[in-house]
Amino acid sequence: MTNDFKKKKSQKEQTFGDVMRSQGVSRRSFLKFCAATASMMAMSPAMIPKIAHALENARRPSVIWLSFQECTGCTESLTRAHTATIESLIFDHISLDYHHTLQAAAGHAAEEAREAAMEENYGKYLLVVDGSIPMGNPGYSTIAGISNYDMLMETAKGAAAIIAVGTCATYGGIPHANPNPTGAVSVNDLIKDKPIINVPGCPPIPVVITGVLTHFLTFGTIPELDHLGRPKVFYGQSIHDRCYRRPFYDKGLFAETFDDEGAKKGWCLYKLGCKGPTTYNACATTKWNNGTSWPIEAGHPCLGCSEPDFWDGGGFYKSLSMPTENITQTAIYTAAGAVAAGVAIGAMNKSKKNSAIAAHDKTTIDDLEK
């Protein structure tokens, strides 16, 4: 039976069901996979039979993965996904035709693989991007002599959809942080005529990356997105709303330092700078490191890494209720007779950029001890 399948269909023609049968995966194992997938994608368990039917018939897609100004943390996250067997099934199914870090080919051979995949699957391939794109100077980041901008625009043309993985690709991320020396921008800033799925996080949760891939495989469409282009199934609720420490917030019980009685009792970390109330991600339920824990469970406030400009939010250990700008300074600008409020804000931003360059703010031990 296995050999028959191999003979009848080329690799590209194979459905997900074919791939699994050819690997000797039983129907019962497939049901288990679908149950885990439904759970991973925050879908109702009632969807399990529908997922099974759709996945069985899903075709093998070509995937091109481009890495620009990034730290490879997103790829590290993905390749350490804790549901190893499940992810490996997905990876066995997709045709990952280009990925700097994971591919064996290098130099011209690598670029030829990208070009061949684009030509062969024009209009059908999935483009995954991690890292931001420098617009200050094309030479800031190049691959095989091609600027990040040129490679993105060329590869995006024939893509069916684009998945921007990580905060750098979705919002510019750390390269975009003040003073943004490379003029880093996001995929969304440059591409306007393709469906883009933003999967932010620094890095994103591994199963969220594979969950988006699985959704595309299962339904052939992009998932429902929020106003920032993020899949609602993973980014639909705030960390705060799903946090197991939320009852302490509601009762007004807060840890004031990292080693006081409140911290030891697991009280709310809001006053220690937790960005949970303004951060939308799946950490609270999906968790990290083999589902062991997540930052808040480990006693550290959420940094808000899946939100735009999280690096410039005014300090990781500053409570959200504390102003991030110098209020007195803003008042002076306004009182000085600026006609429009925008002028004051513009001046403030310029001043902030200059002072950030001069001071190059760093988090110190003192900050942590506040």
Partner 1 sequence: MSSSSVVQFNIQVSADLTQNVKPLLHEIKHALDNLIETGQTTIIDLRSIPLAPGEEDHILKTLGLGEVQAKLDALGLSEIIETQYAGVWVVTHYNDENHIISRFIEITTMPEILSSQTEDIMAAYSRLAITLQDDQEKN
Q: Nearest CA to 135 among 200, 185, 192, 77?
A: 185
Residue 142: strand, helix, or coil: strand
Q: CA-based angle 218:158:217, to the nearest 5? A: 5
Please state the separation of Cα 238 from the chain's center in Å: 15
Query: Which residues pair with residue 66 across a beta bridge?
Result: 129
Tokens standing for 107? 């130099």
- The DSSP 8-state label assigned to residue 209 in this structure reads H
Q: Which of 55, 63, 64, 86 binds partner 1 (CB under 8 A)?
A: 86
Q: How far is the CB of 354 from partner 1 (least distance, A)?
A: 43
Residue nearer to partner 1 on the CB measure, 278 or 330: 278
The residue among 81 and 162 lying less far from partner 1, judged by its C-beta, is: 81
Window 291-310: residues binding partner 1 (CB under 8 A): 291-293, 297-299
Scanning residues 233 to 252, which ones bind partner 1 (CB under 8 A)? 242-247
Nearer to partner 1, 83 or 95 (CB): 83
Beta partners for 163? 128, 197
Q: Which stretch binds partner 1 (CB under 8 A): 41-49, 96-104, 176-184, 311-319?
A: 41-49
152 counts as binding partner 1 under rule CB under 8 A: no
Check binding of 279 to partner 1 (CB under 8 A): no
**CB atoms inside a 10 Å sphere around CB 73:** 16
Distance in Å, CB of 56 to partner 1, minimum? 10
Q: Does residue 265 bind partner 1 (CB under 8 A)?
A: yes
195 or 266: CB nearest partner 1: 266
Q: Which of residues 173-212 bind partner 1 (CB under 8 A)?
A: none
Q: Establish if 33 lies at the interface with partner 1 (CB under 8 A).
A: yes
| Shortest Å distance, C-beta 321 to partner 1 | 23
- Of 9, 50, 82, 194, which lies in the binding site for partner 1, with binding defined by CB under 8 A? 82
Residue of the chain from 138, 183, 236, 266 that contacts partner 1 (CB under 8 A): 266
Q: Are 43 and 51 in contact (CB under 8 A)?
A: yes
For partner 1, the closer of residues 44 and 364 by Cβ is 44
Rounded CA Rg of the chain: 23
Query: How many residues in the shown chain lie near partner 1 by CB under 8 A?
Result: 44
Three-class DSSP labels, 143-186: ECCEEHHHHHHHHHCCEEEEEEECHHHHHCHHHHCCCCCCCEEC
CB of 18 to partner 1, least distance (A): 13
Closer by beta carbon to partner 1, 230 or else 245: 245
Query: Which among 17, 56, 18 is positioned nearest to 7, based on CA atoms?
Result: 18
Query: CA–CA separation, 308 vs 164, rounded Å?
Result: 13
DSSP-derived 3-state class of residue 198 = strand
CA pair distance 168, 28, nearest whole angstrom: 40
Q: Tokens 């050999």 belong to which residue?
A: 3
Minimal distance, residue 132 CB to partner 1, in Å = 32
We find the least distance from the C-beta atom of residue 23 to partner 1, in angstroms, to be 10
Exactly one of 16, 18, 40, 209 binds partner 1 (CB under 8 A); that residue is 40
Where do runs of H (alpha helix) occur along 306-363?
327-335, 341-359
Return residues touching partner 1 (CB under 8 A): 1, 25-29, 31-33, 35-36, 38-40, 42, 44-46, 48, 82-86, 89, 242-247, 264-266, 284-286, 290-293, 297-299
